[in-house]
Amino acid sequence: MQVRNFIDGAFVASRSGKAIPVVNPATQDVLASVPLSSGEDVRQAAEKGRAAFPDWRDMPVVDRVQPLFRLKVLLEENFEDISRTMTLECGKTLVESRGELRRGIENVEVACGMPSLIQGWNNENIAAGIDEHMIRQPLGVVAAITPFNFPGMIPLWFLPYALATGNCFILKPSEKVPLTSQKLFTCLAEAGFPTGVVQLVNGGAEAVNALLEHPDIRAISFVGSTPVAKHVYGQAAAHGKRAQCQGGAKNPVVVLPDADLAETAAALAESAFGCAGQRCLALSTAITVGEVRGPLTEALVEAARTRAVGNGLNPDVEMGPVITEESKSRIVGLIAEAERGSGRILVDGRSSRVDGLESGNWVFPTMVDGVTPGDALAQEEVFGPVLSLMHADTVDEAIALVNGRAFGNMACLFTSSGAAARQFRNQVDAGNIGINIGVAAPMAFFPFSGWNESFFGDLHAQSRHGVEFYTQTKVVVERWP
């Protein structure tokens, strides 16, 4: 299969002539060939978007959301096919893929309420006979650069809001997982958006840099690692664009002695090992306080050792592979570095294999105890199924450990104490807080917050933040003699 771009209302071949294989990380089967689109492909998409923009922005908002209603129906009708495609190309379980797509569809549903979300402000008689209004208008052509780990959900963090507010939208998905976008754009083509309003450009660094540099592209949305997020944010700003750039994460969870042990252990295991740890809200460090250390460690070790790993299409499997051999090597290297330092390996998933799929990118659940704040495993994003354990004597000490890292995507607390929960949510430096929740993923009608090195920008994805990011305000002061 040859992956294609979607430009000016049709699937078309890239002009670059360059392509790389799309590989199933569990089986190593080649699924397709994806083009590494050139700057010329990006230029064509931007020009078509610019041409489509005037009519699209002038369409009444109640009419602009009608294709989104149809898109919602088409995504539901193709739900299983799209979910299976996500599992094939990124390796997660089918249950995880279904959950991902459901969260993406929720964003389409929220954006369908744009007639209310885009409303401005009005004041009558700010002075004698003078009224003042603030209205929201779209930016123009905008683009999103999305990662491999959620190929269905993350494009839908951006696309519905950009379109419903009247912008024309270009998606550049990860070249590792382009097949989900092919399915998504098949639905978009059928949903009835005007030609040029929504477009797809596949590719790598050349396509990214072309999007950042093109003068007609007014805003960039990005999700990926922190080093790349910094590059995208800096280049977008240098070229006069708005940017919202979600970076990496190092998510801690604090467990107090009064937490429910069974529920906590189950939630932590799912958070750390779900999606093979390849999500920006994955638990990376469990910090136990006081006497809960022994019982929780024992429960987590059992959960890690017994988690079923294999091909995500197998209904009995609970965790799939990591995305590439390079990712596996990096993860294994971080575990080895911890072992050479202060870390003690409690569960070692480095050499485990799946029968019949020995060539897959397997890293089984791994646990490392005795990690110290200065260790690489405590500071660097692993993006794999590796859970570090740290220990504290008090809540204050645990909060200090939580805040002693560069990232600020998520932090969670497990407790039955309302006072401890209030202190935690008030003092912790993170944008997404969970109380007795292992993955504090905001619903589509809340922004996906991130702080510090986990986010660069002012307005996050989803909900009203998305509306504000994709619109510019215009203030009108008027008097009628």
Burial state string for 173-201 with b = 16 or more CB within 10 A and e = fewer than 16: bbbbbbbbbbbbbbbbbebebeebbbbbb
Provide the 3-class DSSP secondary structure of residue 324.
coil
Closest by Cα among 130, 126, 132 to 481: 130
The tokens for 26 are 């569990």
Assess contact for 438 and 296: CB atoms under 8 A. no
Half-sphere exposure of 468 (CA within 13 A, CB side): 12
Inter-residue contact 359 to 256 (CB < 8 Å) = no
**Sheet containing 386-392: which strands, arranged edge to edge?**
344-347, 366-369, 386-392, 283-289, 251-255, 410-414, 432-435
Q: Which residues contact 324 (CB under 8 A, 6 or more apart)?
A: 23, 25, 176, 361
The one catalytic residue in 90, 275, 280, 412 is: 280
CA proximity to 273, closest of 313, 330, 331: 331
Catalytic residue status for 412? no
Cβ atoms of 302 and 269 closer than 8 Å: no
Catalytically annotated residues:
280
